[in-house]
Amino acid sequence: MRFLKKFYTLIIFFFLYAPIIVLMIFSFNNSKSRAKWGGFTLKWYAELFKDNEILSSLYYTIIIAVISSLVATVIGTIAAIGIHNMSKIKKTVVMNLTYLPVINPDIVTGISLMILFIFIKLNLGFITLLFAHITFNIPYVILSVMPKLKQLDKHVYEAALDLGATPLFAFRKVVLPEIMPGVVTGALLAFTLSLDDFVISFFTTGSGVSNLSITIYSMARRGINPKINALSTIMFITVLLLLIIVNKRTSRKENA
């Protein structure tokens, strides 16, 4: 029975990470062919940083991901605290409304936002793309922070107020440290979702502004370029290192 559990787990991880490993290996392939190995090389990484189209897309992707995740984290955390303090009926209604954007198909969200931006006569471009990313990231932050708020002992906050602390000071010193793991999780989730998004970005951006997903899609239509493998490898390693750093910091705080 124990062998079957380990084997089942191994199979799951194999199907999850085998494609990524293959992609990373072929990012060092000297040949453009995906069917044969032509020797080890770093030329695709060198060419990657010479490609102005990819570098421009990388710039917009990172800027939008950072700004949208920060704004969505602030708004989502404040919203989660407000929802947590609502009455049971109001909380149920608002939480159901929060779940809708999460389960709603991306294409519906993308087209809806595009129609909204056109209706209010906002030119499609960087601003609309940023607003779209903030919009679809907020529910994920709320859903990440809410479990930590449920675990929070409200009497600790009330005790801080009774001891003379202002509401803002009590929040910063009592509430925020307790819910910080949820806030960090929501921020990371928002950041990775922004990096990964294609459908909503495709409908809400304009000419001259493309993120990596749109650029890679356009390049893939002309054939898979090994530079895409190199770019994907760098992005995967960066996100992996970020997760490791955050997990280590979280573990240290919990053990302290």
Which domains, ranges and CATH numbers included, belong to the chain? Answer: 53-255 (1.10.3720.10)
State how far the Cα of 101 lies from the Cα of 112, in Å rounded to an integer: 11
Question: What Rg do the C-alpha atoms of the chain give, in angstroms?
Answer: 22
Residue 161 CB partners (closer than 8 Å, separation 6+): 167, 170
Instruction: Let me know: does 160 contact 168? Beta carbons within 8 Å.
Output: no
pLDDT in tens, the chain (256 residues): 777 888 888 999 888 888 888 888 888 888 777 677 778 888 888 888 888 888 888 899 999 999 999 999 999 999 999 998 888 888 889 888 888 888 888 899 999 999 999 999 899 989 999 999 999 999 999 999 998 888 887 778 778 887 788 888 888 888 888 888 889 889 988 998 898 889 999 999 988 888 888 888 887 777 667 888 888 888 888 888 877 877 776 666 556 5
Please give the pLDDT value at position 114: 94
Closest CA to 196 of 220, 218, 214, 223: 214
Instruction: Let me know: does 179 contact 77? Beta carbons within 8 Å.
Output: yes
Structure tokens at 122: 């906002």
